[in-house]
């Protein structure tokens, strides 16, 4: 009895005298099912507290903060002003493409030494290509949280109506991947499906600014960044073909609605999942969204869609997909960098990361995750991982967002009916006006 009392007293004294450190994490979806980006940090804190308790260390860690589901741009605005006003936050979760600007401005801490410290326990196991996405000028500024692929979802039910056999349908992803089935071939199929009234539209793409469009640039072989000189490239000849494609899908072939850009996200997903569209340029996470927010079952989705890389054009380029790893960063002004990094490391445990992947439709960042049973039975994770060899990243350049904005303006012009050669001239002029010597305009 005396021993029990002593133990209780000891625990009570630990609880009373333990120093509590609050780590504030600002995390983002914006898709609803990605909430484990925040919750995994809380679980990591629970695990750490257990270790502290077992080791008799009088420190407790509490994770506070938020998981933002509004919009990327609003979240980034909040973060930027948070940096500037030195608001208290110790962990930040955002797209890898933000770290170029934020590292250059000195807002986020360099993490090479921390990574080295925990290399043998955790980081040796990260899929190597992901390290490239978290570097700025050769230094590590973030830890990958997840990755993804942007599959080209094609409606199998519509292909069957068009007379495709099971074998033809099954062979299509492979044909796209090896370049046998091109973007122009797809356009022919889409036109046929629309003409025969099997679908309202042949192709849907995202309705807002974003990085997905860069897949089409790669399909046409239009490189947009010079890594060696850290400058953007706008090749007029290649980009003419890209803008010509956008012009034709809405104005000539009419396989995409002119109102595509600006259509609410909810309406886009309803149309895609209700079979009104032949193909959707989406992401692996859409699979999770369709199940959680649009009432679709795994079986229904597997029956409806095949998953492939985005096709290459017959004019050049390659079949591709695009990854956009979401990463954890540590603000340079955080007073608890060591502890914040430890939490990130614990949150990178394979089983925690896997539950995020399963829940949100993202892909593994560690090899160990690929041997877990959840991975083996998840359709989109398996199919999405197959696309990773075709994957690329957007550059971690401080001015990427501005470049992207102007390129997107061109897409809007082309889709609304402005001639592609005029669009190329307008975009080139605007890029020069806004980005000055950070962009190289290639005439031919």
Partner 1 sequence: MKGKGKAWIFLTPMVVLVVMFFAIPVILTIVLSFTNMDYTFKWNFIGLGNFKDIATDFVIPKVLLNTLIYTFTTLALFNVGCALLISLLTTSMPDRWGSFFRTLWMLPRLTPSVVYGILWLWIFDPTEHGLVNFIRAQMGMPPQDWLHQAPMVIIIVANGFIGASMGMLIFTAAIKAIPTDYYRAALIDGASWWMITRKITLPLIKWQLLFVTAYQTLSLLTSFEYILIITNGGPTFRTEVWALYTYHMAFSNYRFGYGAALSVILVILGTVFALLYLKMFKFEDLMQKPKVEVD
Stretch that binds partner 1, among 346-354, 367-375, 376-384, 430-438 (CB under 8 A): 430-438
Please, which residues have CB within 8 angstroms of residue 274's CB and are 6 or more apart in sequence?
none
Q: Within 255-294, which residues bind partner 1 (CB under 8 A)?
A: 257-259, 261-264, 266-268, 270-271
Q: Is 418 in the site for partner 1 (CB under 8 A)?
A: yes
| Cis peptide upstream of residue 157 (ω within 30 degrees of 0) | no
Choosing from 78, 104, 333, 355, the residue that interacts with partner 1 (CB under 8 A) is 104
Closest approach of Cβ 405 to partner 1, in Å? 6
Closest approach of Cβ 107 to partner 1, in Å? 9
Q: Is 14 in the site for partner 1 (CB under 8 A)?
A: no
DSSP state, residue 38: H
Buried b (16+ CB within 10 A) or exposed e, 196-214: eebbebbbbbbbebbbbbb
Q: Is 429 in the site for partner 1 (CB under 8 A)?
A: yes
Beta carbon nearer to partner 1, 277 or 342:
277
Stretch that binds partner 1, among 42-50, 111-119, 142-150, 394-402 (CB under 8 A): 394-402
Question: Phi and psi for 326 in degrees, rounded to 5?
Answer: -90, 140
Q: Is 13 in the site for partner 1 (CB under 8 A)?
A: no
- CA gap 371, 386 in Å, rounded: 15
Stretch that binds partner 1, among 134-142, 222-230, 376-384, 404-412 (CB under 8 A): 404-412
- For the sheet containing 91-95, what is the strand order? 59-68, 19-28, 91-95, 326-329, 143-146
Beta carbon nearer to partner 1, 165 or 274:
274
DSSP state, residue 396: -
Stretch that binds partner 1, among 88-96, 312-320, 372-380, 407-415 (CB under 8 A): 407-415
Closest approach of Cβ 7 to partner 1, in Å? 54
- CA gap 400, 408 in Å, rounded: 12
Closest approach of Cβ 266 to partner 1, in Å? 7
Choosing from 80, 157, 169, 332, the residue that interacts with partner 1 (CB under 8 A) is 80
Residue in 156, 94, 153 with CA at minimum distance from that of residue 325: 94
- CA gap 124, 130 in Å, rounded: 12
Cβ distance 40 to 91 under 8 Å?
Answer: no
Q: Within 32-51, which residues bind partner 1 (CB under 8 A)?
A: none
Beta carbon nearer to partner 1, 180 or 409:
409
Scanning the structure block, which residue is given the tokens 């790893």? Answer: 325
Q: Is 78 in the site for partner 1 (CB under 8 A)?
A: no
Beta carbon nearer to partner 1, 258 or 376:
258
Q: Is 402 in the site for partner 1 (CB under 8 A)?
A: yes
Q: Is 251 in the site for partner 1 (CB under 8 A)?
A: no
Choosing from 58, 135, 401, 441, the residue that interacts with partner 1 (CB under 8 A) is 401
Choosing from 185, 223, 298, 409, the residue that interacts with partner 1 (CB under 8 A) is 409
* DSSP for 197-226, written as a single string: TS-SEEEE--SSS-STTHHHHHHTT---EE
Choosing from 18, 169, 230, 426, the residue that interacts with partner 1 (CB under 8 A) is 426
CA atoms within 13 A on the CB side of 27: 28
Helix or strand holding residue 305 (H, E):
strand 305-308
Q: Count the residues in the chain.
A: 444
Q: Is 370 in the site for partner 1 (CB under 8 A)?
A: no
Closest approach of Cβ 25 to partner 1, in Å? 22
Choosing from 11, 15, 105, 252, the residue that interacts with partner 1 (CB under 8 A) is 105
Q: Within 148-207, which residues bind partner 1 (CB under 8 A)?
A: none
Query: Using alpha carbons only, how large is the chain's radius of gyration in Å?
Result: 24
Closest approach of Cβ 398 to partner 1, in Å? 8
Q: Is 227 exposed, middle or buried (0-12, 13-18, 19+ CB in 10 A)?
A: exposed
Closest approach of Cβ 415 to partner 1, in Å? 8
How many positions of this chain bind partner 1 (CB under 8 A)? 35
- 312, 133, 38, 341: CA torsion to nearest 10: 170
Q: Is 138 in the site for partner 1 (CB under 8 A)?
A: no
Characterise 109 by phi-psi region: left (phi > 0), alpha (psi -120 to 50), beta (else): beta
Cβ distance 199 to 193 under 8 Å?
Answer: yes
Interface residues with partner 1 (CB under 8 A) are: 73, 77, 80, 84, 101-102, 104-106, 257-259, 261-264, 266-268, 270-271, 398, 401-402, 405, 409, 412-413, 416, 418, 426, 429-430, 433-434
């Amino acid at each position: 009895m005396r021993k029990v009392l002593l133990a209780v007293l000891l625990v009570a004294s630990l609880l009373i005298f333990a120093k509590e450190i609050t780590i504030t994490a600002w995390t983002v979806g914006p898709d609803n099912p990605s909430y484990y980006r925040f919750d995994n940090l809380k679980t990591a804190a629970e695990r750490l507290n257990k270790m502290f308790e077992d080791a008799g260390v009088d420190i407790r860690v509490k994770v506070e903060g938020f998981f933002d589901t509004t919009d990327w741009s609003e979240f980034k605005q909040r973060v930027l002003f948070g940096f500037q006003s030195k608001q208290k936050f110790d962990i930040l979760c955002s797209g890898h493409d933000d770290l170029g600007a934020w590292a250059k401005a000195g807002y986020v801490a360099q993490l090479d030494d921390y990574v080295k410290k925990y290399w043998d326990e955790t980081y040796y196991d990260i899929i190597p290509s992901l390290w490239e996405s978290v570097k700025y000028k050769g230094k590590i500024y973030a830890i990958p949280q997840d990755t993804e692929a942007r599959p080209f979802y094609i409606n199998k039910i519509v292909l069957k109506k068009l007379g495709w056999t099971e074998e033809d349908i099954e062979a299509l992803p492979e044909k796209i991947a090896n370049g046998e089935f091109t973007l122009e071939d797809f356009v022919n199929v889409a036109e046929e499906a629309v003409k025969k009234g099997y679908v309202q539209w042949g192709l849907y793409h995202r309705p807002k600014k974003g990085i997905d469009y860069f897949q089409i640039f790669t399909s046409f072989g239009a490189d947009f960044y010079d890594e060696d000189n850290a400058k953007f490239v706008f090749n007029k000849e290649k980009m003419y073909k890209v803008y010509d494609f956008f012009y034709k899908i809405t104005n000539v072939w009419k396989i995409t609605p002119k109102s595509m850009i600006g259509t609410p996200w909810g309406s886009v997903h309803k149309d895609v999942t209700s079979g009104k569209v032949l193909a959707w340029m989406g992401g692996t996470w859409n699979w999770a969204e369709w199940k959680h927010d649009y009432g679709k079952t795994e079986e229904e989705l597997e029956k409806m869609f095949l998953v492939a890389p985005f096709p290459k054009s017959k004019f050049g380029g390659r079949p591709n997909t695009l990854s956009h790893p979401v990463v954890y960063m540590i603000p340079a002004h955080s007073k608890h960098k060591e502890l914040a990094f430890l939490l990130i490391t614990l949150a990178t445990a394979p089983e925690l990361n896997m539950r995020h992947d399963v829940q949100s439709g993202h892909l593994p960042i560690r090899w160990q995750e690929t041997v877990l049973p959840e991975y083996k039975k998840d359709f989109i994770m398996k199919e999405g991982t197959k696309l990773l060899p075709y994957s690329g990243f957007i550059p971690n350049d401080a001015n990427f967002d501005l470049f992207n904005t102007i390129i997107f303006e061109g897409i809007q012009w082309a889709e609304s009916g402005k001639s592609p050669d005029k669009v190329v001239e307008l975009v080139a002029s605007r890029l020069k006006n806004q980005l000055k010597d950070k962009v190289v305009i290639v005439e031919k």
